Amino acid sequence: MAASIGEQLRLAREERGIPLREICEQTRISVHYLEAIEANDYKRLPGGVFNRSFIKAYARCVGYDEREAIEGYTRYLREHGDTSDEVNTTPMHSKVYTETPATRSPLLTVILAVLILALLTAAALAALHWFQKRASSVTTKADQSSAFIIKRSALYNGSIQELGFQKTDYEAVLQ
C-alpha cells in the first residue's frame, strides 16, 4: 500500500484508468491542483477548507473512501509538521486602513473642502448669470426686430402717423 494519500489517490485513479483531465472535468478542480495532490505538494493548493474539499472530491471521483482520504491528508500534514491547513485563530487586520496617524492636518482638510465648495458655487453662479444674460439678449433682439417690422409695414401702408410715429422716428430706425 502506498505511503501517502496522494500516492493512494493516484494508484486508485490509475487502476480505474481515469485520466486527470476527466477528473478535472467532473470535479471542476484544475489539473494543476490534481497533480499537486498526487505529488503531495499541498503548498500549491489554495489552502484551508479548499484542500480538504479537493481531496474529498478527488477521492469520490476515483471511488476511494472520502473519510479515509481526509484522515490520510490530516495524518500526512501532522507527520510533516505542516499546520497550514488549520483554521487561523488570529484576527485578520485590514490592509487598506491602517492605524497610522493622518499626515495631513484636519484644518487643512477643512480649508480645502471650503475652497472647493466656493469654486463650485462661483462656477454655478457664473453659469446662471451667463444663461440669464443670453436669454435677455435674445428677447431684446426679438423685440427690436418685431418693432422694425411693425414700423416698416406702417410705412408701406402709408399710415405712419396713425401708429403714432413721427417721420424722424422712422428715419432713426432705418439708420
CATH class of the domain comprising 5-79: mainly alpha
* pLDDT on residue 134: 86
| Domain regions of the chain by residue span | 5-79, 106-174
The per-residue pLDDT for range 9-54, each reduced to its tens digit, is 999 999 999 999 999 999 999 999 999 999 988 888 888 888 999 9
Q: 44 and 36 in contact (C-beta within 8 Å)?
A: yes
pLDDT at 69: 92
d(CA 48, CA 104): 41
Residue 121: per-residue pLDDT: 97
Predicted confidence at residue 111, as pLDDT, reads 95
Average pLDDT of the residues of the chain: 79
**Which grid coordinates are listed for 11?**
494508484
The predicted-structure confidence for 64-100, as pLDDT tens digits, reads as follows 999 999 999 988 888 887 665 554 445 555 555 556 6
Q: How far is CA 114 from CA 105, 107, 117, 118, 119, in A?
A: 15, 11, 5, 6, 9
